[in-house]
Amino acid sequence: MNNLLDRIYAEPHAEVSGFAFDDAVARVFPDMIRRSVPGYTTIIPMIGIIASQYAQPHTELYDLGCSLGASTLAMRHGVDQPGCRIVGVDNSDAMLERCRKYIDADSSSVPVDLLLDDIRSVPVANASVVTLNFTLQFIPLEDRLALLSQIADGLNPGGVLILSEKLVFEDGEQSVLEELHYDFKRANGYSDLEISQKRTALEDYLVPETLGQHRERLLAAGFSRVVLWYQCFNFCSLLAIK
Ligand SMILES: Nc1ncnc2c1ncn2[C@@H]1O[C@H](C[S@+](CC[C@H]([NH3+])C(=O)[O-])CC(=O)[O-])[C@@H](O)[C@H]1O
Ligand SMILES: O=C(O)C(=O)Cc1ccccc1
């Protein structure tokens, strides 16, 4: 992984434009996500552990919104079943181009196909593990149920979706957990200006929901059980079992 520092919102912007997964973000992404998402550095290796338990022989594992391939690589090293293939999908050219380099430089022989595409139009079939690691939050609300239903339909019995998301909470809890998230960012070297400009840039693009909304929709999409396996402040990861 590269070690370029995220300074995207360090200087004052006359007007903060909307966040985009462009070249500037892709270049600093490992630093940005590690310093911005509490628990990210724990969640990635655990995706490897979960993939190793749930991968079924001769099936597909999907990483939807794969960015630079951190979860793809964790799954690639976790699976020890024969005949597995991993499909990584992202619609950012800047991300996928760099992802390809990381995958090519990695020594595992588990096949990986990378697709530059919208995750809403990629068919999921014969799947045992699907990962949406902080990606569903960027999909328009009205498209989320259809996407999750398509994933549930493409999973084999006993297959799982790993769904990691930023959450919102009811009144009292929201401000407590949001402040702790900002403290986490400050402790990682972000200034109040950086925190506030990025918050503006993400408004209307990263749309978080409550844990209850996620649970209900996953059940409506066809999953039989939803397990909260990780939470740190206002970020969580769920295991949805078909
Ligand atoms: N409709 C879409 N179709 C395809 N890709 C999309 C779409 N919308 C957004 N993306 C992609 O989803 C990714 C979200 S980042 C995932 C981190 C990664 N999972 C990780 O484990 O490191 C999370 C974050 O930055 O908070 C970006 O690469 C987008 O281009
Ligand atoms: O930075 C934030 O406030 C976030 O919610 C997480 C994030 C991390 C990387 C890109 C976009 C959002």
Q: CA of 83: how far to CAs of 54, 86, 108, 113, 125, in Å?
A: 14, 10, 13, 14, 15
What is the total count of domains within the chain? 1
Per-residue pLDDT at 193 exceeds 90: yes
Is 33 touching ligand 2 by the criterion CB < 6 Å?
A: yes
**pLDDT range class, residue 171, cuts 50, 70, 90:** confident
pLDDT of residue 3: 82
- Position 68 in a domain: yes
- Which pTM value belongs to this model? 0.98
Alpha carbon distance 62, 71 (integer Å): 10
- How many whole angstroms from 195 Cα to the centroid of ligand 2? 10
Give just the sign of the alpha carbon dihedral 213, 218, 224, 225.
Answer: negative
Span 66-110, pLDDT tens digits: 999 999 999 999 999 999 999 999 999 999 999 999 999 999 999
Residue 168 CA to chain centroid, in angstroms?
A: 17
- Position 140 in a domain: yes
Percent of the chain with pLDDT over 90: 98
**pLDDT range class, residue 236, cuts 50, 70, 90:** very high
- How many whole angstroms from 33 Cα to the centroid of ligand 2? 7
Residue 29 CA to chain centroid, in angstroms?
A: 13
Q: What DSSP string describes 44-75?
A: HHHHHHHHHHH--TT-EEEEET-TTTHHHHHH
**113 marked as binding residue:** no
Is 8 touching ligand 2 by the criterion CB < 6 Å?
A: no
Per-residue pLDDT at 45 exceeds 60: yes
Q: Which atom of ligand 2 is nearest to the CA of 166?
A: 5
Residue 73's domain comprises 40-168+206-241
Span 199-222, pLDDT tens digits: 999 999 999 999 999 999 999 999
Per-residue pLDDT at 55 exceeds 60: yes
| Rg over CA atoms, the chain | 17
- Position 131 in a domain: yes
CATH of the domain at 48: 3.40.50.150
- Position 189 in a domain: no
Query: Who lines ligand 1 at CB under 6 A?
Result: 21, 33, 65-67, 70-71, 89-92, 95, 118-120, 133-135, 138-139
Bridge partners for 163 per DSSP: 132, 238
Give just the sign of the alpha carbon dihedral 160, 116, 95, 60.
Answer: positive
The pairing of beta strand 112-116 with beta strand 127-133: unpaired
- Position 56 in a domain: yes
Average pLDDT for residues 2-7, to the nearest whole number? 91
User: Are the C-beta atoms of 61 and 85 separated by less than 8 Å?
Assistant: yes
- Expressed in percent and rounded to 5, the helix, strand and coil fractions of the chain are 45, 20, 35
Best of 129, 138, 147, 163 to mutate for ligand 1, by most ligand atoms within 8 A of CB? Answer: 138
